[in-house]
């Protein structure tokens, strides 16, 4: 459980898996596309967590004593190690999480890990002069928090873990990572790769159940928690963390709306709409999950999107031709299936999909488009987190904006138009942390990202995200 620096980075799939699999005494991890065994995940305990935190707290002091340039050099070399093991890591992601190697899939995810490490080192965080005049001189710097607890999800297990740990490490913190029970091997492998470069002990990983995550939220030596996951779990973390007044960055659930204005070109926006909704088979917090289309182009948008979606191959992630994979687990399959059934039972029109093969192996749910659906249907107002997109017709833009804003979540949204200035005007009326114009869900490590309302608080990425992993200290005088 306590990660140690090694001199060898495992670069083949077999070596990488062998380096993290616990053997037959661990918990079986099965491929969501086939049900076949991938490997065995270690089952760490709360006591293991306590040990990891103690080691991290001890090693953090020397890590923080390094210069910013020295820590960035470590992270750059860690990025090199990720690149060297990129294909092996991508295969493990495909086999454990399910996303295909191709398209915006596991190779994309593995590549994003090294990109985020490198870009996180590119920001200038020099001392900032706040006041400098005849009366006063004040500067602000950011100091390490100490130990950061990072709790990640199963949909983008490697990439989101990097989002959490890269800025934390650069700011001089040690990190204890707790992966999802559904995708522990990917995160264990990622940490193994990083720890082939990083100093011993500053990055720890504890693979366990909910009790381990709960212990992170109350541990007195953890000063901040980075959490990506459901709103319900985020609430519990916030409640538990209150006793020790931990700092929190919470990126929680979303139900992102897209609004297509009447001047949009249906054929031109079809691909952007598709990937906005169906990237990672819809299993993305900031995916497009409900689409409002003006009546004048509603049928044309439905036709263009259906034609494109029908051409996208779905299957086992390690098969190169596939760009859509299975849902990661049975629970998520059942959620999507139930919501689509509620939509069809209500009389909504199925444009594509909606007919899974329940007898086939794997948790495959076909890409599904649902038209002429009531705006209050469960498929619209509940987050499906899967490959089923409801398309709602509107005639009044004010009504569409009101619908976009009516839910308690506010992670992302998008506006689609041939007139960018008009799209921006509409975007300013939408209650979401990020509103994209003519795309949806595209993230940039330089651009802050975070939700509002019950989609969480705090931001990741960019200088603002980096500052969130430090403690501001003002020297006045």
Residues known to be catalytic: 251, 285
d(CA 99, CA 257): 24
- What's the Cα-to-Cα distance from 82 to each of 5, 111, 158, 453, rounded to whole Å? 15, 8, 11, 35
Element (H, E) at 313: none
Q: What's the rounded Cα separation, in Å, for the pair 357 and 353?
A: 11
Strand partners, 370: 350, 390
Contact 165, 120 (CB under 8 A): no
What is the chain's alpha carbon radius of gyration, rounded to the nearest angstrom?
Answer: 23
Look up tokens 């193994």; give the residue. 192
| Structure tokens that stand for 466 in this block | 């980096």
Tell me which DSSP letter residue 88 carries: H
Cα distances from 326 to residues 88, 92, 347, in angstroms, run 20, 15, 27
Q: Exposed (0-12), middle (13-18) or buried (19+): which is 345, by Cβ within 10 Å?
A: exposed
**Phi/psi at 281 (nearest 5 deg)?**
55, 40
Angle at 92 between CA 91 and CA 95, to 5 degrees: 85
Whole-number Å distance between alpha carbons of 180 and 397: 40
Which residues does 99 contact at the CB level (< 8 Å), separation at least 6? Answer: 93, 105, 106, 109, 280, 281, 317, 325
- What would you measure as the largest C-alpha separation in the chain, in angstroms? 78
Q: Rounded to whole angstroms, how far apart are CA atoms 331 and 211?
A: 20
Of 277, 280, 274, give the one whose Cα is nearest residue 257: 277
The CA distance from 372 to 388, in Å, is 14
Strand ranges across the sheet with 174-178: 203-205, 174-178, 147-151, 224-228, 247-251, 456-457
- Which residues are within 8 A (CB) of 323 and not within 5 positions of it... i.e. 6 or more apart? 100, 102, 103, 104, 105, 312, 313, 314
Check if the beta carbon of residue 453 is closer than 8 Å to that of residue 253: no
């Amino acid at each position: 459980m306590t990660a140690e620096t090694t001199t060898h980075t495992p670069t083949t799939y077999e070596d990488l898996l062998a380096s993290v699999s616990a053997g037959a005494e661990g918990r079986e991890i099965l491929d969501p596309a086939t049900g076949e065994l991938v490997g065995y995940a270690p089952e760490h305990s709360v006591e293991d967590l306590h040990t990891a935190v103690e080691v991290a707290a001890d090693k953090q002091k020397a890590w923080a004593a390094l210069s910013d340039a020295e820590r960035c050099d470590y992270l750059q070399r860690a990025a090199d190690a990720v690149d060297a093991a990129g294909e092996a890591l991508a295969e493990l992601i495909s086999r454990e999480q399910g996303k295909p190697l191709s398209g915006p899939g596991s190779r994309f995810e593995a590549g994003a890990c090294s990109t985020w490490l490198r870009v996180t080192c590119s920001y200038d965080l020099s001392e900032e002069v706040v006041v400098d005049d005849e009366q006063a001189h004040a500067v602000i710097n950011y100091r390490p928090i100490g130990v950061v607890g990072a709790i990640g999800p199963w949909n983008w297990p490697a990439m989101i873990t990097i989002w959490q740990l890269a800025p934390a490490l650069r700011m001089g913190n040690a990190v204890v990572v707790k992966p999802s029970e559904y995708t522990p091997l990917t995160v264990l492998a990622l940490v193994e790769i990083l720890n082939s470069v990083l100093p011993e002990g500053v990055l720890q990983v504890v693979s366990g159940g909910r009790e381990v995550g709960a212990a992170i939220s109350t541990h007195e030596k953890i000063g901040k928690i980075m959490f990506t996951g459901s709103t319900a779990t985020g609430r519990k973390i916030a409640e538990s963390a209150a006793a020790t007044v931990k700092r929190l960055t919470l990126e929680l659930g979303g139900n992102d709306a897209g609004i297509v204005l009447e001047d949009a070109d249906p054929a031109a926006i079809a691909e952007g709409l598709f990937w906005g909704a169906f990237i990672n088979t819809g299993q993305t917090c900031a995916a497009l999950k409900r689409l409002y289309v003006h009546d004048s182009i509603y049928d044309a948008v439905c036709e263009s999107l259906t034609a494109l979606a029908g051409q996208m191959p779905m299957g086992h992630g390690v098969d190169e031709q596939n760009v859509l994979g299975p849902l990661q687990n049975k629970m998520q399959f059942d959620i999507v299936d139930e919501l689509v059934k509620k939509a069809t039972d209500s009389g909504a029109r199925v444009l594509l999909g909606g007919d899974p093969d329940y007898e086939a192996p794997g948790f495959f749910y076909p890409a599904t488009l649902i038209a002429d659906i009531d705006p209050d249907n469960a498929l619209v107002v509940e987050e499906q987190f899967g490959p089923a997109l409801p398309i709602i017709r509107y005639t009044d833009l004010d009504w569409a904006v009101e619908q976009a804003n009516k839910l308690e979540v506010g992670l992302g949204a998008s506006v689609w138009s041939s007139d960018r200035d008009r799209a921006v005007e509409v975007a300013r009326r939408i209650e979401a942390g990020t509103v994209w114009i003519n795309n949806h869900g595209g993230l940039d490590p330089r651009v802050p990202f975070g939700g509002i309302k019950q989609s969480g608080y705090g931001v990741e990425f960019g200088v603002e995200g980096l500052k969130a992993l430090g403690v501001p200290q003002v020297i006045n005088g």
